[in-house]
Structure 1
Amino acid sequence: MAEIVVVRARQGQSYRLGNALFKVGGSQTGGRFDFLVMDVAHRSGPPLHVHEVQDDTFFVLSGVLTVQAGDELVELGPGDFATVPPGVPHTFDNLGAEPVRVVNIMTPGGYDELFQEWEQLATDPSDAEVATIYARHGARPVGPPLRDR
């Protein structure tokens, strides 16, 4: 029989990278998914990147999240949803003036391990360090973040 996982409102694992709070990571879901809540600060999104096996899914709670998937650029507001399949270059950012809060689900799970590794790095890692960590977790940076476009 499966066990229920309960994570209360102020519980979860916080990470410096992306100001993310993992409610559960792959280690707690048998690798099925990661579920995290992010407060995306103004112009703080990740570089354009590709996941080899993971779907990257977003549900906006507040603010406007700008998402790039391939050549498409979309703005998502509260209640909007987007999912990016594996192999598609994508990124996201808060390009507006208001705070953005978003639920992010990664399937399959395990991407929380990338965040754990990131915590061990200096606050300004080299490009080689970033690429190495991404590669260990089935992803790779392929371009600049939206703020640099």
Structure 2
Amino acid sequence: MTPQATSSGNHAQAGTVHFLGIPTIVQATGATTGGAFGLVDHLAMPPGFASPYHTHQAEDEAFYVIDGEVAFVLGDTWSVAGPGTYVFGPRHVPHGFKVLGDAPAHMLLLCTPGGFEQFIVELSTSAPAPPDMAQLMAVAARFRIDIHGPLPEEPAAIAARASQATLAGA
């Protein structure tokens, strides 16, 4: 039997939450997409914000940069993405990202199949707060996400972009 597709709109009932201190909206969940995907909107990641270096065992990630500049590392390859850039992070490949420049970045994150968005929901707070690393590690393990630590050192050209932004803000 083929599942029936239904039309639906934004099911983000909780509004904006803070994931790792970042204002975030969960736009779609596995529950609202028949398990197909989850869609997360990171509204304003500040310059210098970086994800941990990590590997997903259960889902692929796709990133779409709306505003700002973000450096991505996939495996050991770095790239820089500006507005309108799409980056694919397949499962089993270590990856992470860092916001460059002197302005916040706005980015959509699509995970397939759905479910990863519940990791974000579980770790979210109602106001900005530093992450509880012990809790992050425990929840990540349950969601089959391996946290490897900080991002690998970025190439000199990317590090220079990040340093220029830091100097400009000083």
For this structure pair, what is the TM-score category when the shorter chain's length is used for normalisation? Answer: 0.7 to 0.9
> Cα distance, 1:114 vs. partner?
1.0
Q: What is the TM-score of this pair, normalised by structure 2?
A: 0.75
Structure-2 residue corresponding to 1:73: 78
Indicate the SS of the match to 1:16: strand
Structure 1 distance, partners of 2:82, 2:13, is 25
> Cα distance, 1:45 vs. partner?
2.4
Structure-1 residue corresponding to 2:137: 131
Structure-1 residue corresponding to 2:26: 22
Cα shift readout 1:95-148 (whole Å, capped 9, x = no counterpart):
21122111111111111211222136xx44543322110011121211204799
Structure 2 distance, partners of 1:133, 1:106, is 17
- Structure 1 unaligned runs (5+)? none
Cα shift readout 1:14-65 (whole Å, capped 9, x = no counterpart):
3211422111111211221011221222222221011002111111111111
Q: Which amino acid aligns with 1:31?
A: G
- Structure 2 unaligned runs (5+)? 160-170
> Which of 93, 104, 114 is matched with 1:88 structurally?
93
> Which of 2, 11, 35 is matched with 2:5 structurally?
2
Structure-2 residue corresponding to 1:32: 36
Contact map agreement 1:60 1:103 (CA 8 A) in 2: yes
Aligned pairs, how many? 148
Contact map agreement 1:131 1:141 (CA 8 A) in 2: yes
Q: What is the TM-score of this pair, normalised by structure 1?
A: 0.85
Query: Larger C-alpha radius of gyration, 1 or 2?
Result: 2
> Which of 35, 44, 49 is matched with 1:44 structurally?
49
Structure-1 residue corresponding to 2:122: 117
How many percent of aligned residue pairs carry the same amino acid?
26
